[in-house]
Amino acid sequence: MSHFSAPPPADVQVSFRTVTHRIDPHMLDVDALKTLRRLRKFGHEAYLVGGCVRDILMGHQPTDFDIVTSAKPAEIRSAFRNSRIIGRRFRLAHLHFANGKIIEVATFRRSPCETDDLSGRHAAENLFGTAAEDAIRRDFTINALMYDAEKNCIFDWSSGMSDVSARCLRTIGHPERRIPEDPARILRAVKFAVRLDLRFDPPLAEAMQRHADKLLLCSPARLIEELFKILRSGHAVECLYMLQEIGALRHLLPALDDFISAQSHSDNAWRALARADEQNVAGDTLSDAVLLAALLYPACRDVLHTARDVSRELESVLRPLVHPLPFTRHHMASVRQMFLALRRLSAGPAAKRARKMLERDFAADAIDLLALVATEKEELRALSAWRALQKKYPQSHPKERPTPTKAALRQNPRRRRKPMTAPVA
């Protein structure tokens, strides 16, 4: 279990131990356990890893169950008919189950050494190794624990069990190397610390502040993904203030950082985001667009309620507010449509146009946003009326583009290439 093909980095202290610990099967996912058994049946090592093990040890019910195994991606693919190999940079398998559930299965990885051929694209991310080598590549000690469901024990290579007991967040290796290596770990560290009530290891806290300016060196898609995870964590307001405190928000969303600096922690500016947190904790799903709108609403509220030309002035506020993060056009268009619809929704449903409004593609999200921002009695009455109409017309949905008829296809035929013929001799 402690095999290394090359010496670990000098700043990584490896202290392998096996801890006997039986996790209540009711806290584990049935399909994840079936996946583990099938991988072992084919002769592979397979363990639960990361967030699911960490959350259970800290008294939380996990929502995702990730598996790590000695099986290569192609071997996983051949063992499971419901699997799909995904990822260009990091090849792994997604197993698809009923109701949209996905279990992620990754192969043990290792860090590159001098003898490796790294000429291929993403070669360094797809070097397969052992369980020990995979564990020390992970970001934080509490995320590197692996659970053997067959033997009821936890494998710990980096004192992760001690950090779980001490509720301490610490990097595997020195943070002065690990944070610049992937600055997005700053966002992950803040999310874990707030959600799990952890304290930062002092060197980690110092490294996060020192290297916060490197956040924009990360892939924009990765930063946006981590930001949405924070918005969905159920502790978005606390995370925002912590990101501001360590200086990360100043680089991530400077205009929002300026807005927060001008607010008081005790005012109600973040009521919408706090309500979104309550819904996320309760398990009520909100779309990414609604969460983004809840984040941006306080800085746009004055424009929405006082501007004469709301559309034009809203555009002048939204663009700098999200800079430099390149949110997708779909996200920004949805936020814009929801904001513009709020005034009409707040007035309540009009008898003749209410159902037509419900058929708009942004209507459901806009009503969800109204539920987050409504404070006045009139707004609450309007919200109640819209919710009643949603129940009355549950089949209302955005109008889909009609399938073209045969006559329409004949009027606009696709140009087809003529078949190639052999040249005449």
Query: If pLDDT is split at 50, 70 and 90, which confidence band does 79 have?
Result: very high
Asked whether 226 and 232 are in contact (CB, 8 A), the reply is no
Helix (H) or strand (E) holding 86: strand 83-86
391-400 pLDDT, tens digit each: 888 765 554 4
Average pLDDT over residues 244-255: 96
Residue 402 has pLDDT above 50, yes or no: no
pLDDT at 161: 96
User: CA-CA distance, 346 to 334, in Å (whole number)?
Assistant: 18
What one-character-per-residue DSSP string does 332-361 give? HHHHHHHHHHHHHHHT---TTTHHHHHTST
Q: How many helices (H) and strands (E) does the chain have?
A: 20, 10
Residue with token string 């610390």? 193
Topology of the domain covering 174-252: Hydrophobic Seed Protein (1.10.110)
Please list the active-site residues: 64, 66, 139
Question: Looking at per-residue confidence, does 117 or 156 come out higher?
Answer: 156
Per residue in 285-301, pLDDT tens? 899 999 999 999 999 99
Q: Is the pLDDT of residue 388 over 50?
A: yes
pLDDT at 114: 61
Contact yes or no for 251/220 (Cβ under 8 A): no
> What local confidence, expressed as pLDDT, does residue 166 receive?
96
Which of the two residues, 320 and 112, has the higher pLDDT score?
320
CA distances from 373 to 196, 295, 302, 342, 349 (A): 27, 11, 13, 9, 17
pLDDT of residue 101: 92
At residue 88, does pLDDT exceed 80?
A: no
Q: Looking at the predicted structure, is the pLDDT value of residue 63 above 90?
A: no
User: Which has more confidence, 413 or 277?
Assistant: 277
Q: Is 29 helix (H, G, I), strand (E, B) or coil?
A: coil
Mean pLDDT of 185-211: 97
Question: DSSP labels for 242-309?
Answer: HHHHTT-HHHH-HHHHHHHHTS-TTSSTTHHHHHHHHHHHHT----HHHHHHHHHHHHHHHHHHH-SS
Residues 6+ apart with CB under 8 A from 171: 139, 140, 141, 178, 179, 185, 201, 204, 207
pLDDT recorded at residue 393: 81
CA distance 79 to 77: 6
At 122, is the pLDDT very low, low, confident or very high (cuts 50, 70, 90)? low
Per mean pLDDT, which range of 7-16, 141-150, 410-419 is the poorest?
410-419
> CA 86, CA 168: separation in Å to the nearest integer?
33
Instruction: Please provide the average confidence, as pLDDT, over all residues in the chain.
Output: 88
Q: What percent of the chain has pLDDT over 90?
A: 69
In this model, does residue 266 exceed pLDDT 80?
Answer: no
Residues 355 and 390 sit within 8 Å (Cβ to Cβ) = no
Instruction: Please give the backbone phi and psi of residue 12, each rounded to the nearest 5 degrees, phi first.
Output: -100, 120
Report the chain's terminal Cα–Cα distance, integer Å: 70
**3-class DSSP state of 106:** strand
Supply the DSSP string of 193-218, one letter for each residue.
HHHHT-EEPHHHHHHHHHTGGGGGGS
Q: pLDDT tens, 7-57?
A: 888 999 898 999 999 999 889 999 999 999 999 999 999 999 999 999 999
Report pTM.
Answer: 0.87
* pLDDT value of residue 403: 43
For 168, the token pair is 């301490």
Over residues 132-138, mean pLDDT: 94
Query: What is the third-level CATH fold of 1-172?
Result: Beta Polymerase; domain 2 (3.30.460)
| For helices 236-245 and 254-261, angle between their N-to-C axes, nearest 10 degrees | 90
Asked whether the bond before 202 is cis by omega within 30 degrees of 0, the reply is: no
Q: What is the 3-state secondary structure (H, E, C) of 169-190?
A: ECECCCHHHHHHHCCCHHHHHH
Q: Note the pLDDT tens digit of each residue in 311-358.
A: 889 999 999 999 999 999 999 999 999 999 998 899 888 877 888 889
Separation of alpha carbons 416 and 409, rounded Å:
13
Q: Which part of the chain has CATH 1.10.110.30?
A: 174-252
pLDDT at 192: 97
Question: Can you give the pLDDT at residue 425?
Answer: 42
**Domain limits, CATH 3.30.460.10, in the chain:** 1-172
CB-CB contact of 150 with 36 (8 Å): yes
Q: Are 341 and 362 in contact (CB under 8 A)?
A: yes
Q: What is the mean pLDDT of residues 248-259?
A: 95
Looking at residue 236, its pLDDT comes to 96
Mean pLDDT of 272-292: 94
Residue 124 above 90 pLDDT?
no
